[in-house]
Amino acid sequence: MAPGSIIGGKQVAALKALGFDAVFDTCMSADMTIMEEASEALMRLTQKKDELPHFTSCCPGWVRFCELFYPDLMKHLSTCKSPAEMMGATVKSYYAEKKGLDPKNIVSVSIMPCTAKKGEALRKELGHDGMQDVDYVLTTRELAKLLKKKGIDFESLPDADYDSILGESTGAGRIFGATGGVAEASVRSLYYFATHQAPPDGLLEWQPVRGLTAVKEAQATVPGVGTVNVAIVNGMAAGRQILEQIRKGDLSRWQFIEFMACPGGCIGGGGQPKSQFASSEDMRKKRIAALYQEDRGAKRRSSHENTEIQTVYKEFYGAPLSERAEKYLHTSFDDKSGKIFDSETQHAANTPPKA
Ligand code: SF4
């Protein structure tokens, strides 16, 4: 299918045809991530200033990079789990309770554009009550192969709806897949949490954070908070430069930094299907344009407006950063310096070789 095709509804139908009992939308849990992350960033901006700049943590490729090569900067990482893990944790707690299911009988499978999510799902920190949040991860490429193997003709499937109560998403949740999208979505809700006012139009079409430049910078003025200087890091080569600057003590230039490992963000993820179209900047641009088009056409464009999210918080989590939210939706990190082994040099790749 053409790059940028919107296939959410067909994907739900395909997963039902494969035998899944319920299909939820990771864009919904991206909205949940924003509820937690925007609240956390606001708290850091107003109270815990030594944890600034705030680093996003939804990309496991980036999180592992930080743990391996910049463990001294881990305190800046948001403690929020990624949307995939928040979904798994919520399915095996709130959803199970609501449906009268034993969470131990639930098998949760994440469909992801991302190969790093496979490693993320195995992290010991990402589970609760003796269960992993996510049991299996299939990349979108593996899903495509599975559908072909089962003889399911994806293109001819009718659209189907995600299952309630974890199936509604806002425009903010959709743009998570594009570089800059996490920061844009976060700032929309951060503005609301700080002011109880809807974000201005400029933050709903925040052009400086969009596009495929390696490092983008933008400022948001939030009444009562001040100017929030934001950086968007597109790929880890640029990430290294920014992190070196911060390591040298440049702590005040930015207050919020989004890091995504793959070029263009998750739309360029390593698990995406290979296709007749060369993996090019043009293809990434088309995929990104489709996400922003969905955002623009969405009934609700900020995560806190998601009515299912409001219900989940009312019935289960209480409020962002509550004790229960911390248990299920937040995580911790591990200093992994020295834990990559380079088979060619016979040395840990992130430590200098011994003389
Ligand atoms: Fe995975 Fe890449 Fe997205 Fe990071 S940017 S979450 S590594 S697909």
- Please give the Cα distance from 203 to 199 (Å, whole number): 6
Predicted confidence (pLDDT) per residue in 193-203, tens digit:
999 999 999 99
Model pTM? 0.95
Instruction: With cut-offs at 50, 70 and 90, classify the pLDDT of residue 355.
Output: very low
Model pLDDT, residue 278: 67
Higher pLDDT, 279 or 11: 11
Q: Is 27 a catalytic residue?
A: no
Predicted confidence (pLDDT) per residue in 200-225, tens digit:
999 999 999 999 999 999 999 999 99
- 3-class SS of residue 240: helix
Segment 156-182 shows an average pLDDT of 97
- Beta-bridge mates of residue 260: 234
- Please give the Cα distance from 316 to 236 (Å, whole number): 37
Residue type, 40: E
Give, using CA atoms, the residue closest to atom 3 of ligand 1: 266
Q: What number of H helices and E strands is found in the chain?
A: 14, 10
352 has a pLDDT exceeding 60: no
Give residues (CB < 6 A) around ligand 1: 59-62, 113-114, 116, 260-262, 265-266, 269
Predicted confidence (pLDDT) per residue in 54-83, tens digit:
999 999 999 999 999 999 999 999 999 999
Model pLDDT, residue 323: 98
Predicted confidence (pLDDT) per residue in 288-300, tens digit:
999 999 999 999 9
The residue to mutate among 266, 272, 287, having the most atoms of ligand 1 within 8 angstroms of its beta carbon, is 266
183 has a pLDDT exceeding 80: yes
348 has a pLDDT exceeding 80: no
Model pLDDT, residue 342: 60
Residue 312, CB half-sphere, CA atoms under 13 Å: how many?
A: 34
- 8 A C-beta contact, residue 264 and residue 288: yes
CA dihedral 161, 162, 164, 168 (to 10 degrees): -100
The single residue of 48, 99, 125, 244 carrying the catalytic annotation is 125
Q: Is 40 a catalytic residue?
A: yes
- Please give the Cα distance from 63 to 116 (Å, whole number): 10
Model pLDDT, residue 344: 58
Segment 277-295 shows an average pLDDT of 90
- 8 A C-beta contact, residue 201 and residue 217: no
Helix, strand, coil percent content, the chain, rounded in steps of 5: 50, 10, 40
- 8 A C-beta contact, residue 326 and residue 333: no
Percent of the chain with pLDDT over 90: 91
Segment 174-181 shows an average pLDDT of 98
Model pLDDT, residue 345: 58
**What is the CA(269)–ligand 1 centre distance, in A?**
5
Q: Is 327 a catalytic residue?
A: no
Segment 13-28 shows an average pLDDT of 98
115 has a pLDDT exceeding 70: yes
Segment 225-254 shows an average pLDDT of 96
**Cα four-point dihedral sign 234, 238, 239, 245:** negative
330 has a pLDDT exceeding 90: yes
Query: Torsions phi, psi of 344, nearest 5?
Result: -75, -45
- 3-class SS of residue 110: strand
Query: Torsions phi, psi of 252, nearest 5?
Result: -105, -5
